[in-house]
Amino acid sequence: MKKMLSVLAALTLSVSLLAGCGGTNANQTETPAAAPETSSAAETASETASAVPESSEQESSTVPETASDSGQASAVRVMALKGPTAMGMVKLMDTAEAGAVNGNSYEFTIAASADEVTPKLVQGEVDIAAVPANLASVLYNNTEGKIQVLAVNTLGVLYIVESGDTVQSVADLKGKTIYASGKGSIPEYALNYILSSNGIDPEKDVTIEWKSEHSECVAALAADESGIAMLPQPFVTTAQTKNDNIRIALDLTKEWDTLQKDTETPSALITGVVAVRADFAAENPEAVNAFLASYKESVDYVNGNAEDAAALIEKYDIVPAAVAVKALPYCNITFIEGSEMKEKLSGYLNVLSEQNPKAVGGALPADDFYYQR
């Protein structure tokens, strides 16, 4: 019990590794507020994964097997966060209400933050979960390979925004002050990588004014007509509803992609992934592969039917439809698996590891981290 409480305590400090899109309302994202500067998100994620209760392996083994040779649908327990990871699943969630889908029956749970998801995944109470990309790596390292990644489900959702018209390229950020949230976590690592790769020293050439929450950055923009901020969706959409002069100056996902054009193994700015317990995948390969096929169909539907998808997103209390329909085009919901997933995700984790090894759990994951069907 004490160890379980330590897990929850560590998680509540931060899992701000995911600068997410969406939330229970316009003032929340998939990412909890950034961790206090005395405890970086990378350190917290490592503590979280290493604090798995000793009984977790035993508890996991007591979960009844879901696959059946009798033709009965396999039961799959899935958790996602209130944001793009859940948004991409809404069509599958809706279809599953009517019964089995591709041989699987589903139990979906939508969580407000990653600290609700991680304990259930590592203890075997959940089979598949959408988590921050680097948290999956941390969990893999700290559970001795008991977590695998099935697919990338969300690319970057970070944007540079301003009220003026002074920023047309990354080079224009030199000498500027940038309001941002997420110090010691993915937003900082992503911004540092993009700045330094464009010849801008994050420590000397720009002033980054770190806030504890994204909402504080929005407030700073409102108070400073010449202000520049780094924000994730849906905070960008929220800020624009309050001030129609705010515009997206730079899409950091596109800026990251530009840096990869001449590399042998191009990576991507990745926000979230779908992870699975390795033992569940080994025991239920058909159920896992059926989930992947259905999830891809769901993602394709959401990306191709914004208004209908927004209605489903509101139905499952993820975000209001009015917010969802505006934010969806900028949430970068995707489905990438197999060799392409491995190439992009491994490169991304390598970028993080070079800045702070703790951000990926101390070491880059081995090949068995990347699920292949």
pLDDT single digits (tens) 268-296? 999 999 999 999 999 999 999 999 999 99
Q: What's the confidence (pLDDT) of residue 113? A: 85
- Once rounded to an integer, what is the mean pLDDT over residues 241-257? 93
Using DSSP, state whether 277 is helix, strand or coil. Answer: strand
Give the percent of the chain with pLDDT over 90: 66
Q: What's the confidence (pLDDT) of residue 237? A: 86
| Least confident piece of the model among 154-158, 233-237, 250-254, 265-269 | 233-237
pLDDT single digits (tens) 57-98? 333 333 334 344 445 778 999 999 888 878 999 999 999 999
Q: What's the confidence (pLDDT) of residue 32? A: 33
Distance CA 220, CA 214 (A): 10
Cβ atoms of 122 and 219 within 8 Å: the answer is: no
If you write DSSP's letter for every residue of 87-141 in order, what string do you get?
A: HTTHHHHHHHTTS-BTTEEEEEEEESSHHHHHHHHHTTS-SEEEEEHHHHHHHHH
3-state secondary structure 127-169: CEEEEEHHHHHHHHHHCCCCEEEEEEEEECCEEEEECCCCCCC
Short-list 347, 153, 362, 328, CA closest to 256: 347
Is the pLDDT higher at 255 or at 214?
A: 255
98: burial class by Cβ within 10 Å (0-12, 13-18, 19+)?
Answer: exposed
Cβ atoms of 307 and 101 within 8 Å: the answer is: no
Res. 35: pLDDT tops 90: no
- Once rounded to an integer, what is the mean pLDDT over residues 1-11? 40
Is the pLDDT higher at 16 or at 360?
A: 360
pLDDT band with cut points at 50, 70 and 90 for residue 23: very low
Res. 5: pLDDT tops 50: no
Q: Which long-range contacts (CB under 8 A, 24 or more apart) does 216-225 make?
A: 216/179, 216/181, 217/179, 217/180, 217/181, 218/242, 220/179, 221/161, 221/162, 221/163, 221/179, 221/246, 224/179, 225/163, 225/164
Tell the residue number behind the tokens 């560590």, with chain if given: 10
Give the percent of the chain with pLDDT over 70: 81
If you write DSSP's letter for every residue of 18-36 in order, what string do you get?
A: ---S--SSTT--SSPPPPP
Cβ atoms of 60 and 33 within 8 Å: the answer is: no
Q: What's the confidence (pLDDT) of residue 21? A: 43
Res. 9: pLDDT tops 90: no
Res. 358: pLDDT tops 50: yes
Res. 43: pLDDT tops 60: no
pLDDT single digits (tens) 189-211? 999 999 999 999 999 999 999 99
Helices (H), the chain: 2-13, 41-50, 56-61, 84-87, 90-96, 114-122, 133-142, 186-197, 214-223, 235-242, 252-259, 278-283, 285-304, 306-315, 321-327, 338-355
Number of other residues whose CB lies within 10 A of the CB of residue 1:
7
Cα 143 to Cα 47, 192, 283, 361: the distances in Å are 12, 29, 18, 10
Q: What is the CA radius of gyration of the chain?
A: 20
Structure tokens at 19: 């600068």
Using DSSP, state whether 204 is helix, strand or coil. Answer: coil
Q: What's the confidence (pLDDT) of residue 37? A: 34
Res. 100: pLDDT tops 80: yes
Set out the domains of the chain in order of their start, with CATH numbers. 2-59+75-153+268-357 (3.40.190.10), 158-259 (3.40.190.10)
Is the pTM for the entire model greater than 0.85?
A: no
Chain center to CA of 59: 27
Distance CA 126, CA 237 (A): 32
Res. 140: pLDDT tops 70: yes
Q: What's the confidence (pLDDT) of residue 71? A: 58
Mean pLDDT across the chain: 83
pLDDT single digits (tens) 160-184? 999 989 999 999 999 999 999 999 8
Distance CA 207, CA 134 (A): 26
Name residues whose C-beta falls within 8 Å of residue 305's C-beta, 6 or more positions apart in sequence: none
